[in-house]
């Protein structure tokens, strides 16, 4: 471990800024304080320290901490704040802060109009959690949705290089898993809006699986819940040489609205036990507690003590249990369990004995302050103890301290011999506080030039770089692993703003106003796909599509494959134009490998509606002013000088 003098006395290689609007971003003062803790000095009670790391950012030295949240939101709109639910307070003691957060939601509104909207935009609940976690360095690793059941998995951005083999799956039970509106649910009994979704991944060399379920409701449906759970476990399978079934993983978290009830006791006794804080009298009649001793499928699953009041059913907007005519009996329907692979089960998928992984539950509680649903959310914090940890990145990125001039926008990277590159890999430029690996400001394909042995470098084009001053991060996105497998620590970009650049251009007379405007329109840095898009200030999670007047939009032949939110083969089928701004080839940027070329003269019929900028899987074709058809691969791509509209 480096001493505080070694760290603070050396040249500050990066800027770790912390703005008042982003309280969770690691500031330089906090970074130095944690370095002092690592050196054995007195610090503000921080629980982790700094170690030398190949990429320069903090390396995990404390046991990893995972927070799991489950919430049946009852088709409600999201609340304004979820800080307390996610344990994101401003306390100086971060002993309960997580390295990963898994959030399972049930009964998210899935009416037809909402599903159509969510097909184009990220749903409001997911946006809420990303907005809340982004300022605290959390990035969305993966998400999966099956009607009203959603699972979100987040991790600190500097842990991403050690998370691999991310896969998702879902299983529908009852009515094919289609969501049932509340007014017709009684006629469907346990069918509809039920099933399970999962995310699995390798974290620091250990195979983890997160399973979010919504099982059949009502007192007499415990047998159906058991059957559904067995169905989910048997049908969900993953690819690759590692764990294929859910229970094959080193560690499984099972949570959700499991809908187990309290048997035997009547409503008055249950409420009396709750009011008198004698919850232990209800434990022995809880259906899940009873099932742990009788269902073989639950062997090995563990759960913390139920020291919080039952989380169902409440009058919406209050903390009062059901006062409707039905007067539902309170129950612990929302649960979080875990299972560690048995030591006698042979080697773990990572090839090492699984008993070397131990799990400790740090807390298990409900959150009564949230009243938007008839369920209360439940959260649990876990500490994972690894006897070994694979913490070597597959790709190591190097970047200068600051990009003050466009020619400094160069990134070097070294690839480990075990890493199999793909021609669809790319390096993205992200603002500090980015929410998802597709939230890049600019990108460049990893078509590279050799520097020295396994070291390569790429260059961002001047047009793709953000103007002004800010803190950024570079990340290497692996198409094979579907995640960032290499990231840098934050660095600064300080480039002239557009206003300064335009005033300088006007004074020199080097280019016309029309040419400047067209260049900004075509090469704006906020594009979400290889096609350059109109720069937007909102943080839409959907694919960006440029709003070019005069473009005809036709469905792609690959539309059935789903939308792509990263540089993709579909987009690369179009010709490309490299905005070569110098004879030395120093400005290649994202357009070198991924930005399609654009046609010459344009036609400008009435503007395309604004919302078309978010439609997925569309192919762009221009309208030939002469009526000669669309521009395609047979037509010659124009040069960069011809990108402005023809008069």
Per-position DSSP letters for 58-81, written without gaps between them: ----SPPEEEEEEEE-TTPPPPS-
Q: Tell me the pLDDT band of 104, cut-offs 50, 70 and 90.
A: very high
On whether the CB atoms of residues 646 and 600 are closer than 8 A, the answer is yes
CATH code matching the domain that covers 395-495, chosen among 2.60.40.2840, 3.60.20.10, 3.30.930.10, 2.30.42.10: 2.60.40.2840
- pLDDT, residue 221, reads 78
Mean pLDDT of 422-439: 94
Greater confidence (634 vs 295) lies with 295
Q: What is the pLDDT of residue 351?
A: 53
Q: How many CA atoms lie within 13 A of 121 on its CB side?
A: 14
What pLDDT, on the 0 to 100 scale, is given for residue 397?
94
Query: Which of the pair, 264 or 19, is modelled with greater confidence?
Result: 264
The more confident residue out of 233 and 481 is 233
CATH code 2.60.40.2840 region(s) in the chain:
395-495
Q: Is pLDDT at 232 greater than 80 in this prediction?
A: yes
When pLDDT is averaged across residues 176-197 and rounded to a whole number, the result is 54
Return the pLDDT at 113.
66
pLDDT of residue 388: 80
Q: In what order do the strands lie in the sheet with 251-257?
A: 163-173, 194-203, 206-214, 251-257, 334-340
Per-residue 3-state assignment (H helix, E strand, C coil) for 339-354: EECCHHHCECCCCCEH
Token match 């809908």: residue?
A: 259
Rounded to an integer, the average pLDDT of 328-335 is 96
Lowest mean pLDDT among 234-243, 463-472, 518-527, 550-559: 518-527
Asked whether residue 530 carries a pLDDT value surpassing 80, the answer given is: no
Tell me what pLDDT residue 357 has: 86
**pLDDT value, residue 91:** 52
pLDDT at 390: 82
pLDDT higher for 617 or 63?
Answer: 63
As a whole-number percent, the residues of the chain with pLDDT over 70 amount to 60
Domain 65-177+191-386: CATH superfamily is Endonuclease/exonuclease/phosphatase (3.60.10.10)
* pLDDT value of residue 322: 96
The encoded tokens of residue 435 equal 């929410």
**Is the pLDDT assigned to residue 112 strictly greater than 60?**
yes
- Mean pLDDT score of the chain: 73
- Which one is predicted more confidently, 501 or 333? 333
What's the whole-model pTM score?
A: 0.70
Lowest-pLDDT range of 45-54, 338-347, 365-374, 391-400:
45-54
* CA-wise closest residue to 389 among 60, 631, 625: 60
Residues of the chain with CATH 3.60.10.10: 65-177+191-386
Q: What was the pLDDT predicted at 299?
A: 94
């Amino acid at each position: 471990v480096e001493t505080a003098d070694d760290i603070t006395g050396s040249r500050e290689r990066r800027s770790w800024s912390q703005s008042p609007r982003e309280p969770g971003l690691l500031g330089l003062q906090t970074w130095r304080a944690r370095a002092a803790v690592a050196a054995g000095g007195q610090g503000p009670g921080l629980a982790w320290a700094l170690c030398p790391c190949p990429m320069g950012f903090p390396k995990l030295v404390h046991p990893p901490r995972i927070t799991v949240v489950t919430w049946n939101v009852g088709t409600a709109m999201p609340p304004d704040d979820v800080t307390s639910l996610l344990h994101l307070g401003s306390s100086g003691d971060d002993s309960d802060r997580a390295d990963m957060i898994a959030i399972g939601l049930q009964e998210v509104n899935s009416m037809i109009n909402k599903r159509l909207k969510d097909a184009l935009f990220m749903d409001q609940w997911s946006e809420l959690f990303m907005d809340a976690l982004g300022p605290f360095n959390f990035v969305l690793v993966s998400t999966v949705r099956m009607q009203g059941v959603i699972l979100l998995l987040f991790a600190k951005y500097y842990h991403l290089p050690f998370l691999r083999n991310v896969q998702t799956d879902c299983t529908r039970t009852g009515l094919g898993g289609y969501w049932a509106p509340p007014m017709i649910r009684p006629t469907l009994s346990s069918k509809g809006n039920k099933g399970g979704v999962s995310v699995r991944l390798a974290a620091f060399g250990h195979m983890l699986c997160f399973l979010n379920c919504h099982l059949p409701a009502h007192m007499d449906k415990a047998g159906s819940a058991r059957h559904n759970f067995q169905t989910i476990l048997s049908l969900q399978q993953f690819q690759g040489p590692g764990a294929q079934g859910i229970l094959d993983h080193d560690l499984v978290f099972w949570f959700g609205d499991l809908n187990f009830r309290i048997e035997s006791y009547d409503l008055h006794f249950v409420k009396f036990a709750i009011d008198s804080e004698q919850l232990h009298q209800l434990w022995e009649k809880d259906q899940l507690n009873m099932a742990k001793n009788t269902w073989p499928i639950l062997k090995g699953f563990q759960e913390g003590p139920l020291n919080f009041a039952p989380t169902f059913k409440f009058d919406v907007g209050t903390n009062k249990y059901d006062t409707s005519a039905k007067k539902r009996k309170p129950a612990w329907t929302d649960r979080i369990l875990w299972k560690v692979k048995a030591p006698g089960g042979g080697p773990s998928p990572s090839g090492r004995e699984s008993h070397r992984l131990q799990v400790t539950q740090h807390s298990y509680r409900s959150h009564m302050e949230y009243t938007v649903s008839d369920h209360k959310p439940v959260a649990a914090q876990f500490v994972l103890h690894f006897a070994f940890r694979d913490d070597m990145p597959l790709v190591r990125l190097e970047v200068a301290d600051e990009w003050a001039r466009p020619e400094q926008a160069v990134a070097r990277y070294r690839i480990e011999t075990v890493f199999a590159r793909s021609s669809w890999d790319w390096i993205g430029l992200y603002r500090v506080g980015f929410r998802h690996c597709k939230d890049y400001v600019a990108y460049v394909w990893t078509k590279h030039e050799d520097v020295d042995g396994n070291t390569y470098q790429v260059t961002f084009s001047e047009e793709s770089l953000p103007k002004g001053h800010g803190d950024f991060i570079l990340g290497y996105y692996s198409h094979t692993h579907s995640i960032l497998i290499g990231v840098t620590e934050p660095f600064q970009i300080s480039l002239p703003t557009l206003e300064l650049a335009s005033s300088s251009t006007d004074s020199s007379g080097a280019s016309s106003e029309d040419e400047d405007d067209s260049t900004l329109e075509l090469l704006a840095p906020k594009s979400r796909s290889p096609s350059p898009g109109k720069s937007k200030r909102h943080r839409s999670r959907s694919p960006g599509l440029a709003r070019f007047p005069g473009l005809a939009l036709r469905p792609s032949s690959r539309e059935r494959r789903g939308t792509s939110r990263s540089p993709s083969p579909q987009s690369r089928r179009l010709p490309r134009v490299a905005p070569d701004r110098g004879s030395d080839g120093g400005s290649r940027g994202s357009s070198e490998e991924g930005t399609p070329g654009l046609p010459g003269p344009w036609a400008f019929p009435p503007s395309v509606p604004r919302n078309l900028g978010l439609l997925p899987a569309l192919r762009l074709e221009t309208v030939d002013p002469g009526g000669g058809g669309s521009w395609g691969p047979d037509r010659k791509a124009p040069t960069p000088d011809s990108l402005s509209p023809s008069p």
